[in-house]
């Protein structure tokens, strides 16, 4: 039930904001709006105010604004309050305002989330200098070594770990060029990212980790860690000579050795030490009796700084969205990464369970995607209608109905193919359905 309600809320808000943009712009330029509907039929609530019917449909999968004389095949009277009676500039304002409102909503929601305060891994904004190369990983097979500075992925520069992980994550099972800086020399490498774990979404990984390590937050009195001499604020560098990067690596290493001695390499007051400890057996797993934390930074910006960071982040995300779209065209990006309504519903439910901040973050991301995708020059979308008007402006004449119908049909085919792809992807992420797909 939480998933359904969260999905209806997220999609309802995004569609409402999008259609509200069209509605307000239409009113502003003097177009008569016949209907403003949120959701699809059957209609649940409907009322009239002035010339407009306002209604809510039972299916929260979209919405629309119907304007007088909007389509060439509508019965038109030539009145000045009809859509096609307006100038191309006025029609452009009406069409563009839907996507603009979604992009604006993404900026506002991101600002709200940032203003609440954000805690993130400290390495994310640091240069991508390799700390650990996972044994047997694509990176190890491509002669990428600890200490290498990754400078580019697929010909595009990466300045932070966050940028690097996003660039690699969008290219699973596809060979990609990596640029390295080693001892002052630039070295090219070819590597094919593999898919991370059993994630529902195909995320590429080459097996490189930053040079960070978890620290001990607290020690349980009388536990195995205290007996071994482990103290709060100790930084765990390795277990049995295997490097430890994140807290979950340490938890896994401890859990594998119940009632078995392990050797921890730690950093205490700037000095390396080795400590022998024997995890206690709890069930089938080992426990040391410590609380572990990763190295994080907390950001609590003011309103102005939150707005600035929001703009910067959304510009970066927009760039990534366009790169992904271009990657789909050039086949550098896997279409399996696309998600549809089922996946959005799942993510909405999971985010709602984490709280309002997580849900607002998801809404911001989807809203930005919705706004940018609607600007694509594909007939049927807002950007497609704008594109057609632009071509008519360049040709200094309006296209015939037959030409427009062919263009809209082509756009419809593209959108239909995209919908089939994302729905197929969604179904493959549901385990019990995937079992009926022997080709997977």
Q: Is 9 helix (H, G, I), strand (E, B) or coil?
A: helix
Residue 333: CB partners within 8 Å, gap ≥ 6? 170, 171, 174, 324, 327
Location of structure tokens 């095949």: 73
The pLDDT tens digits for 164-208 are 998 898 888 889 999 999 998 999 999 999 887 655 667 889 999
Of the candidates 19, 70, 82, 202, the residue annotated as catalytic is: 19
E strand residue ranges, 90-148: 118-121, 130-133
19 is catalytic: yes
DSSP state of 222: T
- How far apart are alpha carbons 140 and 107 in whole angstroms? 40
Burial 220-254 (b: 16+ CB within 10 A, else e): eeebbbbebebeeebbbbbbeeebbbbbebbbebb
pTM (predicted TM-score): 0.80
- Ramachandran region, residue 28 (left: φ > 0; alpha: ψ -120 to 50; beta: rest): alpha
The pLDDT tens digits for 59-98 are 877 888 999 888 766 666 778 889 988 999 999 999 999 9
The pLDDT tens digits for 223-275 are 999 999 999 999 999 999 999 999 999 999 999 999 999 999 999 998 999 99
């Amino acid at each position: 039930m939480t998933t359904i309600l969260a999905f209806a809320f997220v999609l309802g808000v995004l569609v409402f904001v999008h259609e509200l943009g069209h509605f307000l712009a239409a009113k502003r330029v003097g177009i008569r709006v016949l209907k403003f509907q949120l959701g699809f039929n059957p209609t649940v609530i409907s009322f009239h105010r002035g010339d407009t019917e306002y209604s809510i449909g039972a299916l929260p999968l979209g919405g629309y604004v119907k304007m007088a004389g909007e389509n060439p095949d509508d019965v038109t009277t030539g009145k000045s309050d009809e859509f096609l009676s307006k100038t191309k500039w006025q029609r452009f304002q009406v069409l563009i305002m839907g996507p603009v409102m979604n992009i604006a909503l993404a900026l506002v929601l991101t600002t709200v989330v940032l203003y609440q305060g954000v805690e993130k891994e400290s390495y994310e904004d640091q240069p991508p200098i390799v700390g650990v190369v996972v044994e047997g990983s694509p990176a190890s097979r491509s002669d990428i070594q600890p200490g290498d500075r990754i400078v580019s992925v697929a010909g595009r520069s990466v300045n932070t770990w966050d940028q690097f992980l996003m660039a690699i994550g969008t290219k699973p099972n596809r060979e990609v060029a990596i640029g390295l800086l080693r001892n002052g020399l630039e070295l090219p490498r070819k590597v094919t990212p593999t898919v991370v774990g059993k994630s529902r979404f195909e995320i590429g990984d080459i097996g490189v980790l930053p040079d960070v390590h978890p620290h001990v937050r607290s020690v349980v009195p009388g536990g195995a860690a205290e007996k071994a001499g482990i103290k709060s604020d100790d930084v765990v560098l390795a277990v049995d000579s295997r490097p430890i990067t994140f807290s979950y690596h340490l938890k896994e290493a401890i859990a594998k050795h119940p009632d078995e001695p392990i050797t921890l390499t730690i950093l205490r007051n700037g000095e390396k030490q080795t400590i022998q400890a024997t995890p206690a057996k709890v069930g089938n797993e080992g426990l040391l009796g410590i609380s572990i934390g990763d190295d994080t930074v907390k950001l609590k910006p003011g309103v102005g700084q939150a707005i600035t960071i929001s703009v910067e982040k959304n510009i970066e995300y927009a760039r990534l969205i366009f790169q992904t779209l271009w990657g789909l065209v050039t086949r550098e990006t896997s279409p399996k990464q696309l998600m549809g309504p089922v996946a959005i519903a799942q993510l909405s439910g999971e985010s709602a369970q984490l709280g309002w901040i997580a849900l607002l973050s998801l809404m911001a991301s989807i809203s930005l995607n919705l706004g940018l995708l609607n600007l694509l020059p594909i007939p049927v979308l807002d950007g497609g209608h704008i594109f057609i008007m632009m071509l008519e402006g360049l040709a200094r004449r309006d296209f015939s109905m037959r030409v427009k119908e062919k263009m809209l049909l082509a756009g419809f085919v593209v959108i239909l193919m995209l919908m089939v792809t994302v729905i197929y992807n969604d179904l493959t992420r549901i385990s019990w359905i995937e079992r009926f797909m022997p080709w997977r």
